[in-house]
Amino acid sequence: MEQNIQKKFNQAQNEVRLAIMDFIINEKRPFNLETDGFGALKNIRLSSEKDFADITAELRAKDGMVVDEENNVNFIYPVSALPTNHQVKLADGRSFTAMCAIDAIGAAFTFHQDTEIHSVCSVCGAPIHIVMQDGTPVEYSPKDLHALTFTLGEISNWAGSC
């Protein structure tokens, strides 16, 4: 199974993914597929609401986003619209919560910019701080920091396992 979520989707699907992420980050709330919908996304090149509906259906089918029973996009890798212990500040000044600490690190690659991460260890509760520059951790604490990850294909709904 492909590890890079962006490679699971085509250009138009990734454009919608990023637009929904930007909406969640900018509005500080979940994106609702019905009430926000196609009209709420800025600068996407889709021709119709049907294209939007087809793409969001594909994103859901391939676990590209997690939608609740009220049609709120609560998770869209790596962004969580719900509060978590994994705070990410982007170089452009925006901030959001990531689904997990590994996703917070991945935000540097998703948004193609430097990031600063404040998180907590899920085992002991110790604070974690990471600065990513040009895709590399240049500052981190604690100094003996280790990250564990798993193959996404081992579980069907990775968003619920962060």
The partner residues of 88 in beta bridges, in order of sequence, read: 96, 117
- If asked whether residues 71 and 96 sit together in one domain, one would say no
Q: What is the pLDDT of residues 24-73, one digit of tens each?
A: 999 999 999 999 988 788 778 776 788 889 999 999 999 899 999 999 99
Cβ–Cβ under 8 Å, residues 43 and 18: no
Confidence of residue 117 (pLDDT cuts 50, 70, 90): very high
- If asked whether residues 68 and 92 sit together in one domain, one would say no
CATH number for the domain harbouring residue 120: 3.15.10.60
User: Average pLDDT, stretch 112-121?
Assistant: 95
- If asked whether residues 32 and 47 sit together in one domain, one would say yes
Residues of the chain with pLDDT > 90, as a percent, come to 64
- If asked whether residues 55 and 106 sit together in one domain, one would say no
- If asked whether residues 84 and 57 sit together in one domain, one would say no
- If asked whether residues 67 and 125 sit together in one domain, one would say no
- If asked whether residues 68 and 88 sit together in one domain, one would say no
The per-residue pLDDT for 63 is: 87
The per-residue pLDDT for 80 is: 97
- If asked whether residues 34 and 60 sit together in one domain, one would say yes
**CA 78: distance to chain centroid?**
2
Please give the Cα distance from 41 to 12 (Å, whole number). Answer: 13
Please give the Cα distance from 38 to 127 (Å, whole number). Answer: 39
- If asked whether residues 27 and 87 sit together in one domain, one would say no
